[in-house]
Amino acid sequence: MTKIGILTGGGDCPGLNPVIRAVVRKSINEGYEVIGIKNGWKGLIEKDTMALDLTAVSGILPKGGTILGTSRTNPYKKEGGLQSVKENYKNLGLDALIAVGGEDTLGVAAKLTKDGIPNIVGVPKTIDNDLSCTDYTFGFDTALNTATECIDKLHTTAESHHRIIVVEVMGRHAGWIAIEAGIAGGADIILIPELPVDIEEVCALIKRRHGRGKTFSIVVVAEGAKFKEGTMVTQEEKLDEFGHVRLGGIGERLGQEIEKRTGYETRVSVLGHIQRGGTPSAFDRILGTRFGVKAVELVKEKKFARMVALAGNKIIDVPIEQAVAALKTVDMDFYGIAKVFFG
Ligand code: F6P
C-alpha cells in the first residue's frame, strides 16, 4: 500500500487544516495510508509522527493553525539533520512526502529532492503570498480580510479623534498584505518593502489631505518596509535557521516621525500574529482543499519535485525549485492603482 507522509512547516496560517483533511480524504479514497509528521522538518529529524485517519481529520476544516504543529526547523542547519531525515523517511516506510510550507519549508524540500528524497510534492502556504509560480498561496486571503477589518475599525478612532493612525502589517519582504488590505480598507498612504519610504513625501501627502479639510489619515506600512536611507527596522538582529531577521517596529518609528514633522497627533497599531490566526476564509478553505487533492493526484501520477499552484482558476503543478528561486513581490502597476487614492 502506498504510504504518504505530510508535514506543515514555517509560520502557521489559516488553511493548513483544510489541506491536511483533503490529503487524508483523497488518499483514503485512493486506498493509500497517510501519516502526519509533527512540527515540520523537526518531526522528520526526530521521527515524531501521528496517525491520520478519518477520525483525526473530522471537524478540522474551519480550524485555524495546524493539527500537526509546526516549527521553523532547517534540517540542513542541524548536526546530523539531513541524515536523520533520510533515515526516518526510510524507516517510516514512506513512498512520498507532501511538504506544506512557504519559501523556507519548500526550499528544504527542493534541496531534499536532490539529496536522497526525490518523492516530494510541495503545497504553497503563507499569509505573505510571496511564493513564485502561484497566483495565490492559501492563508493570504484570510490574513488580508483580518487586516482589512482591523483597518475599518481603526478608521473609527482616527476619524473621531482627528488622528493619524499608522497600521503595521506583516508580509516579510513582500508588500502583498499591505497593498491589498490598504486598498480594501481605503488607506490614505500604503508603504511596501518594494519601494523605500520617503518620509518627506509621506508627510507632504498627509498635509495635502488635511489641507482639503480631512482631519485624520490611515497609513498602512508593511513590516519589511525600509526608510529611503536603507534602514530596515527589526525586533532583533539574531537570524533564524533560515537566515531571517525578526521584522517589526517600523510602524512606531514612522509614527514618531510623522507626529514630529506634521504636528498631528499620531497613534500606531501593530496587527502582528492576529493576521495569522483564526478560522480560514471560504477562499482559503477551498484553495487548501483543491491543493490537497491535487497533491495526492501528483503522488498517484508519480510526478515528484513539483509544487501545486493556482494559475487563474486552474490548479496546476510547477517545479518546486522554480517556485522558491525568487520571491514574488508587488509590481509597480498594482502600486500605481493604490497611489491614485493617496493623500
Ligand atoms: O511568514 C509569515 C510571517 O507571519 C511573516 O509575515 C512574519 O515576518 C513572520 O512570519 C513572523 O514569524 P514568527 O511568527 O516566527 O515571529
Cα of 300 from ligand 1 centre, angstroms? 33
* Count of beta carbons in the 10 Å neighbourhood of residue 46: 15
Cα of 32 from ligand 1 centre, angstroms? 34
Ligand 1 atom, smallest distance to 177 CA: 6
Mean pLDDT of 49-77: 98
List residues near ligand 1 (CB under 6 A): 11, 102, 126-128, 170-172, 223, 246-247, 276
Domain architecture of the chain: domains with CATH: 3-128+280-323 (3.40.50.450), 140-276 (3.40.50.460)
In angstroms, what CA-CA distances link 290 with 132, 261, 276, 295? 18, 50, 21, 9
Nearest CA to ligand 1 atom 10: 11
The DSSP code for 281 is P
* Average model confidence (pLDDT) across the chain: 97
CA torsion, points 15, 66, 177, 74, in degrees to nearest 10? -130
CA torsion, points 94, 324, 67, 243, in degrees to nearest 10? 110
Alpha carbons within 13 angstroms on the beta-carbon side of residue 13 total 31
Ligand 1 atom, smallest distance to 10 CA: 1
Which uninterrupted H or E stretch holds 91?
helix 81-91
8 A C-beta contact, residue 219 and residue 167? yes
Active site residue 128: yes
Cα of 270 from ligand 1 centre, angstroms? 13
Rounded to a whole number of angstroms, the distance between the first and last alpha carbons of the chain is 62
pLDDT of 206 above 90: yes
pLDDT of 236 above 90: no
Cα of 14 from ligand 1 centre, angstroms? 13
Percentage above 70 pLDDT, the chain: 99
Would you state the pLDDT for residue 230?
66
pLDDT digits (tens, 9 = 90+) for 168-178: 999 999 999 99
Ligand 1 atom, smallest distance to 102 CA: 1
pLDDT digits (tens, 9 = 90+) for 266-304: 999 999 999 999 999 999 999 999 999 999 999 999 999
pLDDT digits (tens, 9 = 90+) for 92-110: 999 999 999 999 999 999 9
Taking each helix axis as running N to C, give the angle between helix 332-339 and helix 176-184, from 0 to 180 degrees, rounded to the nearest 10. 30
What is the pLDDT confidence band of residue 235, given thresholds at 50, 70 and 90?
Answer: confident
Would you state the pLDDT for residue 229?
79
